[in-house]
């Protein structure tokens, strides 16, 4: 019989960002083992070992029924009582995660990476601390830009028998390809929008005949400057990022306030005074490339200059394209009905007409 005394909890770790990822078997595990004598571990002793190692977050990949069979149904409560965060995101032993699992993973992954970036320690475990644990430890590295082969090698070097089963490796490869495609689409959306803005900057209000007379061989040479369309698109993305972080850290889920704050930072880059005095100075507004006035729309300027508080919806009757031009980032942060509502609310920060809101949605 192996106990927490005869076999103290072994935590194998590797560095990631400025923190560490630890891997181990299920704390408090009891019952038979395929690799040796049965386990009769003590949950309290093992949780104390987690705390002594310095774990800030514990990620459990074992489902509720499996925890009960292993004799550690109270694991989550014990971890929280010991002052650690607990995330329960299970998938079946010897299997690849199901589709819903990755949706749940996307909810917690930013919190794990933030802890690692702050020098924290994230502890991952399954039943034996091998296949499922290896998958998550590998995924964390790949999300930070590591190649899967190298990430797997680091896991195996840290925990000798940790490895992926073939189905799990196929799942991870497919998921990484999908995530890479999503990132490429995001870059393409921003880059394509900026290029279109640059191409059309000079000729935005010209007739087709004027364009053909001025550029009989195409719009060349191309100006290097994008307009307020691209500026506000980038500030929209920055505001959405700030809103997402605020939601994850403080539980405040609305996006209009952070995006409005971002727009007021943009307003300052245009040489206009901000109507709200406590505008934080950070991010894009400090980039010299943003410190240029590039034909900003009068509706945006007047609406933002009249703001009394963050998230205030305008009551004007403007239905121009000033809100549509900056809406590209919205579906990258919200989906389905949430995206529609956010698009309309963010449009309303400068354009009060329902037509403008509907065009963004």
DSSP string, 201-240: TTTTT--HHHHHHH-TT-S-SPPS---HHHHHHHHHHHHH
Q: 301 pLDDT exceeds 80?
A: yes
In what helix (H) or strand (E) does residue 121 lie, and over which residues does it extend?
strand 121-125
Start-to-end C-alpha separation, the chain: 62
217 burial (CB, 10 Å; 0-12 / 13-18 / 19+) is: exposed
pLDDT at 248: 67
pLDDT in tens, 187-235: 888 888 888 888 888 888 889 999 899 888 877 777 668 889 999 999 9
- The full set of domains in the chain, from first to last, is 12-164 (3.90.190.10), 227-360 (no CATH)
Tell me the DSSP string of 260-301: HHHHHHHHHHTTPPPSSS-----GGGGSGGGSS-----HHHH
For residue 59, which of 151, 132, 159, 161 has the smallest C-alpha distance? 132
Supply φ then ψ for residue 213, to 5 degrees.
-70, -40
Q: Which two tokens stand for residue 222?
A: 């191309």
Q: In sequence order, which residues have a C-beta less than 8 Å from that of residue 197 and are 6 or more positions away?
A: 226, 227, 229, 230
d(CA 131, CA 109): 19
Given this model, what pLDDT does residue 88 score?
A: 98
pLDDT for the residue 163: 94
The most confident of the ranges 6-10, 185-189, 284-288 is 6-10
The CA radius of gyration of the chain, in Å to the nearest whole number, is 26
Q: Which residues have a Cβ under 8 Å from the Cβ of 215 and sit 6 or more positions away?
A: 203
In angstroms, the CA 58 to CA 79 distance is 8
pLDDT tens digits for range 224-258: 688 899 999 999 999 988 887 777 666 666 788 89
Which amino acids are annotated as binding site for Mg(2+), given as ranges? 227-229
Find all residues with CB under 8 Å of 239, minimum gap 6, and list them. Answer: 255, 258, 259, 260, 261, 262, 263
Query: In percent, how much of the chain has pLDDT > 70?
Result: 94
Rounded-to-integer distance, Cα 169 and Cα 175, Å: 10
* 148 vs 345: which has the higher pLDDT: 148
Quote the pTM value: 0.63
Q: Are 320 and 299 contacting, i.e. CB atoms less than 8 angstroms apart?
A: yes
Strand partners, 39: 2, 31
Q: Which residues are annotated as a binding site?
A: 227-229
Q: State residue 11's pLDDT score.
A: 98
Whether residue 104 contacts residue 89, with contact meaning beta carbons closer than 8 Å, is answered with yes
Q: How confident is the model at residue 61 (pLDDT cuts 50, 70, 90)?
A: very high
The answer on pLDDT for 291 being more than 90 is: no
Span 11-27, average pLDDT? 97
What does the alpha-carbon distance between residue 52 and residue 39 come to, in Å, rounded to a whole number?
Answer: 22
What percentage of residues in the chain have a pLDDT greater than 90? 51
Check residue 331 and give its pLDDT.
77
Residue 189: per-residue pLDDT: 87
Which residues does 57 contact at the CB level (< 8 Å), separation at least 6?
84, 85, 86, 87, 111, 112, 115, 120, 121, 122, 123
Question: For the stretch 49-79, what's the b/e string if a residue is b when 16 or more beta carbons lie within 10 angstroms of its beta carbon?
Answer: bbeeebbbbbbbbbeeebbeebbbeebbebb
Instruction: State the pLDDT at residue 280.
Output: 81
Cβ atoms of 321 and 358 within 8 Å: the answer is no
């Amino acid at each position: 019989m192996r106990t927490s005394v005869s076999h103290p909890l072994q935590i194998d770790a590797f560095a990631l960002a400025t923190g560490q990822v630890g891997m181990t078997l299920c704390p408090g595990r009891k019952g038979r083992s395929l690799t040796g004598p049965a386990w009769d571990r003590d949950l309290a002793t093992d949780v104390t070992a987690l705390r002594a190692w310095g774990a800030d977050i514990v990620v459990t990949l074992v489902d509720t029924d499996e925890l009960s069979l292993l004799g550690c149904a109270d694991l989550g409560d014990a971890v929280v009582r010991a002052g650690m965060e607990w995330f329960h995101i299970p998938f079946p032993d010897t299997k690849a995660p199901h589709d819903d699992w990755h949706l749940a993973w996307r909810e917690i992954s930013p919190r794990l990476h933030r802890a690692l970036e702050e020098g924290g320690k994230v502890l991952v475990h399954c039943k034996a601390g091998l296949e499922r644990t290896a998958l998550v430890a590998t995924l964390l590295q790949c999300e930070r830009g590591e190649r899967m082969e190298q990430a797997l090698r680091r896991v195996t070097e840290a925990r000798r028998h940790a490895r992926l089963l073939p189905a799990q490796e196929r799942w991870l490869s497919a998921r990484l390809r999908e995530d890479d495609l999503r990132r490429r689409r995001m870059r393409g959306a921003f880059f394509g929008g900026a290029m279109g803005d640059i191409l059309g900057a000079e000729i935005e209000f010209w007739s087709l005949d004027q364009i053909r007379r001025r550029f009989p061989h195409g719009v060349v040479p191309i100006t290097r400057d994008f307009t307020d369309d691209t500026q506000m698109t980038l500030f929209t993305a920055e505001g959405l990022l700030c809103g997402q972080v605020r939601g994850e850290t403080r539980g405040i889920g609305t996006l209009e306030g952070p995006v409005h704050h971002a727009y007021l930072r943009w307003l300052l880059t245009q040489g206009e005074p901000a109507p709200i005095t406590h505008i934080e100075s950070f991010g894009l507004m400090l980039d010299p490339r943003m410190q240029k006035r590039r034909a900003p729309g009068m509706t945006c300027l007047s609406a933002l200059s009249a703001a009394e508080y963050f998230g205030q919806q305008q009551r004007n009757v403007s239905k121009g394209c000033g809100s549509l031009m900056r809406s590209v980032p919205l579906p990258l942060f919200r989906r389905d009905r949430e995206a529609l509502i956010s698009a309309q609310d963010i449009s309303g920060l400068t354009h009060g007409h329902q037509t403008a809101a509907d065009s963004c949605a």
